[in-house]
Chains A and B, each alone.
Chain A
Amino acid sequence: MPKIKQPAKSPHIDMTPMVDLFSLLLTFFMLTASFIPQEAAVVDTPYSISEKQAPNHDLMTIIVDSVGRTFFNIDNGNDTTRHIRANILQDMGAKYNIKFTKKELADFSKLGSFGTHIDSIKLWINTTTSAARQKYQTGLPLYDSTNNEFKYWIYYARLRNGEAEVAIKADGNTDYKKVKKIIDILQENKVNKFNLVTNLHKQEVTLKDIPKDVPK
C-alpha cells in the first residue's frame, strides 16, 4: 500500500483568541483594581460569620501584629480638603515640640499605617524606600506610663475627625491582654464601639443542632 503522505502543517498556532481573552482579562483587572494598601505588618485576622463591611473612609485602623506591635492609620476622609492626617501630625508636633515642614505634612498625608516613635517620625516620613522605612516601624509605645503617644494619636484623631470609626485589626495569635490594653486606651478616649476586622467564615446552625439537654 502506498504511504499516505500527510501534508506538512505549519507549526504556527493562531494566537488571536488567546490574545483576545488576555486583553479582556487585562482590561477587567485594570478597571476593577483597587490596590491592597501596603501595611506596616502582616496580620492574620481571626474568623467570624460577620458579613458587615468596613466603612470606606472615616476609619481609624489600629493594627496589632502577633508580637503585639501596634500601628496606627487614619484616612483623609471623604473630603480631602480637611487635611485630616496633616492636621493630626501638626497637633502631635505641637504637643511634642516638633516642627514639620509643609512637604513633610503633605508626604505624611499620602503615607499609610505607621508605628513610629514621635522622635523618629521625621526620619520615617523622609525615607523614600519602603524597605528603609520599615526600620522605623517599631510599634507605637503603649505600656509606658511616661510615654503615651498612642493615646494622643487617638485623641487628636478624634479631635480632627469626630465621625471616624475605630477598627481593630489584630492578629489572631496576639495575646488578648494586649488588645485589651488598646481597648482600654480607646475607651479612655470615649470610643466604645469597635469594628474588629475578621475574615468571613460561614457557619450554618439550624434548629436541628439544638441539643435536648445541656451537655455536661
Chain B
Amino acid sequence: MAEIIQEEKGKKGGKRRPKKQSTRIDMTPMVDLMCLLITFFMLTTAFSKPKVMIITMPEKDTKQNEPQTKIPKERTLNVLMTGNDKVYYYTGLAEAKQPLPYLAKSDFSKDGIRKVLLAKNKDLFTKIANYRDSVTSGKLKIFVYIDDSLKPVFAREGHRVFISADQGASWTTIPNPNSNPEDNLIGRIILQNAQNPELAVLINNKNKRIKKRDALSSEENFIVDGAIKSMKRDDKKGPIILIKADEKAKYKDVVNIIDEMAICNIASYAIVDISPIELEMLANAPK
C-alpha cells in the first residue's frame, strides 16, 4: 500500500547476478497493529480517578426527649429546590398562622443563588479569601511540619494548627525542649499557643520562602484547610442554610446547592425535610 515496489529494468543479458534485496522492511502491518493497540489502550484507560464531595448527615436516632437545637431565626436562610434548575429561598421561619415570608426565585447561574449566599456570608468569605491570598502571595509564611518524631503533638484534636496574620500574635516560639542545641541551629522551633499551651506545633523555619504561586504543597494545603475549617467553626454570625428538596427535585439540584455552599464557604448548612407550609409556598411561588 504505502510502498510501491519498483521493478528494476534494463540490464538485459550479461551476467545474471542475484537480485539485490532491498534492506527496507514493509512496516505497514506493524504500524496498523500499533494504531489499533494505541486506540484500544487510549479508550480503555481511566486517567483520572473519580472526584468525590464529602457530606456528613446528622445522626438519625436522636433521643426523643433531647431538646432540638434551636437556631436563630434571623440567621436562617431556607433554600427550596423543586427541579428544573429552579431554586427558591426565603429568610427566617415559615410558621402556620403567621404571615408567610417572601419566597424569592433564583437559579444556579453565576448571578443566581450564589450572589445571595455571598452577600449573606460576606464576612467569613472575605476572611477566608484574604487568608488564602496572604498564603499564596507569600505574605504569610506557612511553616511546614516535617519531623515525624513529634507527630502526636501535631496531630492533636482537630488539627487547629495555623498561623495567620491576625492570629500570629497569640503564637509564641519556644526552643524545642527535647532537641539538642544543634537542632535549634538548623532551625527547628516549637510554636506554642498562648491561649492553649497544650497546642504546640513543631515547625521548620528552614523552609524555603514561599513565592507567589497557585499551588501549595500538600502539607501547606493541610494546614490551610485546617485553618479554614476552624475559621468556619468559630463563625458565629454567618448564615445558617437549610436545604430542602421537594418531590420534584433532582439529585443534581441538591449536589449543586451543596457545591454552592463549598464555593461560598458557608460554615453551617444542613439538608432537612421540607414542611407542608413550604410545599404550599412553593405551589404559590412565582413560576
Contact = CB atoms under 8 A, between A and B. Distances in A.
B254 interface: yes
Nearest to B255: A46
Nearest to B248: A175
A15 B2 contact: yes
Interface size class, chain A: 35 or more
Contacts of A212: 119
B283 interface: no
A29 B118 CA distance: 44
Interface string A47-68: 1111111101000000010000
B250 to A, nearest CB: 6
Given A49-B262, A173-B250, A214-B120, A29 B51 contact: no
B118 A211 contact: yes
A195 interface: yes
B126 A195 contact: no
B129 A176 contact: no
Given A22-B38, A48-B262, A207-B126, A34 B46 contact: yes
B118 A209 contact: yes
Contacts of B258: 48, 196
A197 B50 contact: yes
Given A175-B249, A176-B253, A215-B115, A195 B129 contact: no
Contacts of A184: 60
Given A206-B129, A215-B115, A18 B31 contact: yes
A148 B200 CA distance: 50
B259 A12 contact: no
Contact of A174 (B116, B120, B250, B259): B250
B31 A205 contact: no
B28 to A, nearest CB: 8
Contacts, number: 190
B185 interface: no
Interface in A18-45: 18-19, 22-23, 25-26, 29-30, 32-37, 45
B45 A176 contact: no
Nearest to B252: A172
A197 B48 CA distance: 13
Query: Which of B30, B42, B45, B47 has most chain A Cβ within 10 Å?
Result: B45
Contacts of A49: 259, 262-263
B114 A205 contact: yes
Contacts of A75: none
Interface in B28-84: 28, 30-31, 34-35, 37-38, 41-42, 44-60, 81
Interface in B107-133: 110-111, 114-116, 118-120, 122, 125-126, 129-130
Contact of A205 (B118, B119, B245, B252): B118
Nearest to B6: A10
Nearest to A68: B251
B247 interface: yes
Contact of B53 (A33, A52, A177): A52
Nearest to B254: A176
A19 B34 contact: yes
B35 to A, nearest CB: 7
A198 interface: yes
B38 A34 contact: no
B79 to A, nearest CB: 13
A199 interface: yes
24 contacts: A10-B6, A11-B3, A15-B2, A18-B31, A26-B37, A26-B41, A32-B47, A33-B44, A46-B251, A50-B53, A52-B52, A52-B53, A53-B52, A176-B245, A188-B60, A193-B55, A193-B56, A195-B53, A196-B53, A205-B263, A205-B264, A206-B129, A213-B119, A214-B119
Given A48-B51, A193-B57, 19 more contacts: A19-B27, A22-B31, A46-B256, A47-B255, A50-B262, A175-B249, A175-B250, A180-B245, A192-B58, A192-B59, A196-B54, A198-B51, A198-B255, A199-B51, A200-B48, A203-B263, A207-B125, A209-B110, A215-B119
Interface of A: 10-13, 15-16, 18-19, 22-23, 25-26, 29-30, 32-37, 45-54, 56, 64, 167, 169-180, 183-184, 187-188, 192-200, 203, 205-207, 209-216
Which 5 A-B pairs have CB atoms at the shortest separation, nearest pair first?
A172-B252, A29-B41, A195-B52, A46-B252, A50-B53
Interface of B: 2-4, 6, 24, 27-28, 30-31, 34-35, 37-38, 41-42, 44-60, 81, 104, 110-111, 114-116, 118-120, 122, 125-126, 129-130, 245, 247-256, 258-259, 262-264
